[in-house]
Structure 1
Amino acid sequence: MIDLNDLRARPDAYKKAAKDKNITIDIDALLKLDDERKALIPGIEHARSLQNEANKLIPTLKGDEKQEQLKELKAKSLELKALEAELKNVEEPWKEMQLMLPSIPLDRVPVGKDDSENVEVFKWGDPSTALRVPADAAKDHITLGENLDMLDFKRAATVGGSRSYYLKGEGARLQQALMRYTMDHLHSKGWTLFCPPLMANFEAFMGTGFFPGADQNNIYSLDDGLYLIGTSEVTVCSYHRDEILKEEDLPKRYAGYSACFRREAGSYGKDTKGLYRVHQFEKVEQVVLCKADQEEAMKMFEEIRQNAEEVLQALKLPYRIIDVCTGDMGKGKVFMQDIETWMPSRGSYGETHSCSYLGDFQARRLNMRYEESGSGGAPVARRYVHTLNNTCIASPRILIPIMEIYQNADGSITVPEVLRPYMGGLERIEK
């Protein structure tokens, strides 16, 4: 959701944002509804005022005078109901269309139609020297995992269908080590850790921008008005819904650890084997609430992306950073970068992390504000916070580069040094 005053002031900028983000919305039609709504409201308020005055007057009257006023009151009531019905017919599409309005991307965001036009801006590590075995002798994570009894896809398919998996033995321990290492990494920096709800209502998904829209197709719906989260961003960001925070308490640095669930609608036939595209995974998500200051927000963006980079560097996994183009970033984001990690079996980088700045898009939907203080410390205004989020680690996808890059010639896997304390000092996974 965006500031309607800003939309009225520069509609062409929002038209361009919608076009660049591949979002279909008739902004002129929305502005027409907005004008109609504004024109109706004074008449409704006047009719309500007259009705209230009549309600106060009638008890003081008697006889014919009272009957006459009752007739007038009935007529005014019918007039008010007609105006309110007209307003409702205008407000319903007015509200629905607002939910589809895009944020305006920063000027530095590349304009492009889809992920093929994302732009690489940084690389760390050398994929050509990452493997510990000759490339022609390297096994993929599926073969490695099954040989070492870390993965079982066949049994998982009989239980959970396609894109299901069992992590077992050292595979399960390796994933838990990753999660614990990442949470300890963030905790050491002062981040507040969350184990948030795995289910959320429509309002939380709408508030974080996932509903309505194409993202809704990837969410599992339950029978009682709740939905399984595809990221803890939904429930952690909603933590302060309808609250007014203090400026001195910002920024809020939160990290949510949770299981996540995605239907992967629209990905039929893509990455059907292995751990790359699955329906269930675990993730540590960073969520930031900060002041409505773009410069400060972009500093927070660098901080949360750096936190994720530090995890990858500690794991010694080659990766690259890309600026996500307008057609791939979604309606609420004003700036977005992905981190892609080198995956030998794919012969390419694969997306493992995402980092987003959304301005006040989510805060307006969730009604999260803060009191801005004046020179004397007294509150002078209430403003919407700005929000950011970042994947600090997500598994099992990240197990692909770990298992493949750390494989040895004998089929064993060396445990990354930073994870060994979380696996009882284990140095190597072997038969």
Structure 2
Amino acid sequence: MIDPRILREDPDAVRASLHARGEDEGVVDKLLALDTRRRSAIAAADALRAEQKQLGKRIGGARGTDRDGLLATGKELAAKVKEAEAEQAAASAEFAELHAAVPNLVHPAAPAGGEDDYVVLKHVGSPRELDFTPRDHLELGEGLGALDMERGAKVSGARFYFLTGVGAQLQLALLNLAAAQAVGAGFQLMIPPVLVRPEIMAGTGFLGAHAAEVYRLRDDDLYLVGTSEVSLAGYHTDEIIDLSAGPRRYAGWSSCFRREAGSYGKDTRGIIRVHQFDKVEMFTYCRPEEAEAEHDRLLGWEEEMLAKIEVPYRVIDTAGGDLGSSAARKYDCEAWIPTQRAYRELTSTSNCTTFQARRLNIRYRDESGRPQVAATLNGTLATTRWIVAILENHQLEDGSLRVPEALRPYLGGREVLEPVGR
């Protein structure tokens, strides 16, 4: 959640952020009114409790009719305290509920607008000129014996699939390459839980506007994560962590689950938009003043991985109206997909500033030993969708696949994967 001090001291900044997201700016006035009511209720309850404490001391030394009168006063005062505490609780609960619904403040440098108003920061590599009609990733995957959508649908329904044979090997190669890079860069590798409690899912901001995307197990009151960002953010909930040596970095390898609500009819062919996939996700805890530099580093690590799979890509700065509720700024890396003649997202990295850590009560100690709220950031290092870009960009005319050099050690040294039946 956003810092309440910003709400009080610079409400126009909150209004501007909500405007950038296309959301109701009137929430700010409601929050300010609730905050005033809450703080007034706290002061009134504190004053009555102090009065009650003083009266208790007087009652202890009183005798006779004086004591009887003070006891009567004490009874009246106790009722007032109870009433004041109820008002404090109600005002605090109303403020907290609305406060938790306000998304993170959009970074001032993020582009204005919505989904189509991103800014392209750079292009890396050029789309390959093919002298044959390219096959799409599904046709290639089926030809290689790497992908079975039909049986995935038979077993689990639409948008499920089997990675088979070299497809399973290719995914493991990709994720192992990502894990090796992460460990080499100083990340602690984690295999986290993929089921989390409601307070962890809510704390990361995924039960707001994106709640429809999340699978819920109602009988157990648990949620399936759509990214290991959720589990890794929850790892240090209610802790004071040591950031004296610099950012603390984790890389989570997990399966991820998304309902893809609202995506009916979009990307129904192949594995671009599916309900289950695997991913290696980077996650960082750092001091707020280090967050922007860390965001650039996460983007750099993502680009390092993209260079290893040898695909053309571009980096975009996502517009404020297209940001998730927890992100202040987000960069996407989009790879060229030949059969679509378009760039499609492979990775994203978000700076969530103190938004998630404030909700999850994750702090560090500053130079004076005082607890302060940490910042959190995340970034995708590899995921199942990358197979789409690898297949389409490295295909050969006969349906074979040239294996990117960095992946070959994880595929038994093979340079080319050939269609099955040869």
TM-score by length of 1: 0.92
2:150 to 141, 149, 154: 154
- Equivalent residue, structure 2, for 1:260: 256
- Equivalent residue, structure 2, for 1:217: 212
SS of match in other structure, 1:214: coil
SS of match in other structure, 2:366: strand
- Mapped to 2, the partners of 1:76 and 1:414 lie a distance apart of 82
**Quick one: which amino acid aligns to residue 233 of structure 2?**
C
- Mapped to 1, the partners of 2:282 and 2:363 lie a distance apart of 20
Give how far 1:77 is off.
2.1
The 5-angstrom pairing of residues 290-369 of structure 1 reads 290-293=286-289, 296-369=290-363
- Equivalent residue, structure 1, for 2:245: 249
- Equivalent residue, structure 2, for 1:376: none
**Quick one: which amino acid aligns to residue 242 of structure 1?**
D
Contact 2:141–2:167 (Cα < 8 Å) also in 1: yes
**Quick one: which amino acid aligns to residue 332 of structure 2?**
D
Unaligned runs of 5+ in 1: 374-378
Contact 1:318–1:342 (Cα < 8 Å) also in 2: yes
Percent of aligned pairs with the same amino acid = 40
Deviations 1:368-390 (A, max 9, x none): 221112xxxxx343322222111
Give how far 1:57 is off.
5.6
- Equivalent residue, structure 2, for 1:426: 414
Contact 1:23–1:331 (Cα < 8 Å) also in 2: no
Give how far 1:70 is off.
3.7
Give how far 1:33 is off.
0.8
**Quick one: which amino acid aligns to residue 372 of structure 1?**
D
- Mapped to 2, the partners of 1:256 and 1:247 lie a distance apart of 20
**Quick one: which amino acid aligns to residue 353 of structure 2?**
G
- Mapped to 2, the partners of 1:386 and 1:24 lie a distance apart of 26
- Equivalent residue, structure 1, for 2:164: 168
- Mapped to 2, the partners of 1:411 and 1:27 lie a distance apart of 57
Deviations 1:164-206 (A, max 9, x none): 0010111011001100011001111221111111111122122
**Quick one: which amino acid aligns to residue 51 of structure 2?**
L
Contact 1:151–1:166 (Cα < 8 Å) also in 2: yes
Deviations 1:294-317 (A, max 9, x none): xx3222112111111111111111
Change in 2 beyond 3 A, CA 1:67/1:135: farther
Deviations 1:217-263 (A, max 9, x none): 11111122210111111111222222222342321111111110011
Q: Aligned residues, how many?
A: 417
**Quick one: which amino acid aligns to residue 90 of structure 2?**
N
- Equivalent residue, structure 2, for 1:9: 9
- Mapped to 2, the partners of 1:67 and 1:206 lie a distance apart of 52
- Equivalent residue, structure 1, for 2:194: 198
- Mapped to 2, the partners of 1:234 and 1:199 lie a distance apart of 10
Contact 1:21–1:330 (Cα < 8 Å) also in 2: no
- Equivalent residue, structure 1, for 2:372: 383
- Mapped to 2, the partners of 1:42 and 1:422 lie a distance apart of 64
- Equivalent residue, structure 1, for 2:175: 179
Give how far 1:63 is off.
5.9
SS of match in other structure, 1:248: coil
Give how far 1:291 is off.
1.6
- Mapped to 2, the partners of 1:126 and 1:18 lie a distance apart of 38
The 5-angstrom pairing of residues 117-132 of structure 1 reads 117-129=117-129, 131=130
Give how far 1:147 is off.
2.0
- Mapped to 2, the partners of 1:18 and 1:49 lie a distance apart of 40
Contact 1:246–1:372 (Cα < 8 Å) also in 2: no
**Quick one: which amino acid aligns to residue 375 of structure 2?**
H
Contact 1:292–1:383 (Cα < 8 Å) also in 2: no
- Mapped to 1, the partners of 2:235 and 2:273 lie a distance apart of 29
- Mapped to 1, the partners of 2:92 and 2:41 lie a distance apart of 11
- Equivalent residue, structure 1, for 2:84: 83
Give how far 1:87 is off.
2.2
Contact 1:21–1:331 (Cα < 8 Å) also in 2: no
Change in 2 beyond 3 A, CA 1:224/1:70: farther
Deviations 1:46-71 (A, max 9, x none): 22233344556656666655544443
TM-score by length of 2: 0.94
- Equivalent residue, structure 2, for 1:394: 383
Contact 2:20–2:106 (Cα < 8 Å) also in 1: no
